Amino acid sequence: MLPKSITLASVLSVLATSTLHAEPDPPAPAAKPESKTIIHEGKYTYIFDSGTAPDLKEWQNTEFAAVVKEWYPKLNTMLPSNGYNAATTVSFRFRDDMKGTPAWAAGTEISLNAPWFRNNLKGEARGCVVHEMVHIVQGYGRGKNPTPGWITEGIPDYIRWFLYEPQTKGAEITRGNLGSAKYDASYRISANFIDWVIRTKDKDLLAKLNEVCREGKYTENFWKERTRTSLQELGEEWKKANEERLAK
């Protein structure tokens, strides 16, 4: 047996060597950038999620957020009705699994097609957001009478093309689309029809039309009650007015 003093020295030597050659602790993982931006503006809260599109976060927090903060309250003012309060918290989420659809609204969340937005930041991106915010405010489906799809989509496109970005003339009736233009063609064409009725027949029609749709009380007789002209007759007048304009 070795002397105790030698044994202790050997142990201390081994421990010292182990300490000198120990592997350093691995660095802590870098913190992931926060994907959500929450903005409180008056009584509204807006939640933006760019988790799948971090490259869009700067645009989201500047140009995109500016449109939302200005136009969401405006839309609520444009489309009021008794006893209805639109959502005060709205979420916007970029996704990469939406294929060709630019955006859609469901409940109080708007899903945004990240690849499409990357290609349209200087074009239709902001107007697309305005259209989808209208869907949040519309609040349809509360009554027994379903709203026709052409109205559901025509109102958002009316607000987008005639109130938000009229300078783009994105819902114009032209020689190229006049032949197939029908009041119930939806989206831009129906938006043009709604604009014509508001300008020539009833300046208060937008809020009233949205109100009866929100309450589930829409029928075709609405047009007759508001304008003293049936929907079919209005459609014919509108198309004739465009034909005469384009013939000049």
Residue-wise pLDDT for 99-154, tens only, equals: 999 999 999 999 999 999 999 999 999 999 999 999 999 999 877 789 999 999 99
**Tens-place pLDDT, residues 156-180:** 999 999 999 999 999 999 999 999 9
33 band by pLDDT with thresholds 50, 70 and 90: low
Contact at 8 Å (CB) between 212 and 154? no
Q: Which residue has the tokens 């660095």?
A: 27
Q: Give percent of the chain with pLDDT exceeding 70.
A: 87
Q: Does residue 118 sit in the same domain as residue 179?
A: no
Strand 89-95 with 44-49, pairing:
parallel
Domain boundaries, position 46: 36-138
Q: Which residues pair with 48 in a beta bridge?
A: 37, 92
- Tell me what pLDDT residue 108 has: 98
Give the pLDDT band of residue 13 (cuts 50, 70, 90).
very low
Indicate the residue among 94, 111, 138 that finishes a domain: 138
Query: Would you state the pLDDT for residue 115?
Result: 98
CATH code (residue 62): 3.30.2010
pLDDT reported for residue 26? 54
pLDDT digits (tens, 9 = 90+) for 211-244: 999 999 999 999 999 999 999 999 999 999 999 9
Q: Are 208 and 226 in contact (CB under 8 A)?
A: yes
Is 68:198 a contact under the CB 8 Å cutoff? no
Domain boundary among 138, 164, 182: 138
| Mean pLDDT computed over 84-109 | 97
Do 120 and 169 have their domain in common?
no
Give the count of domains, the chain: 2
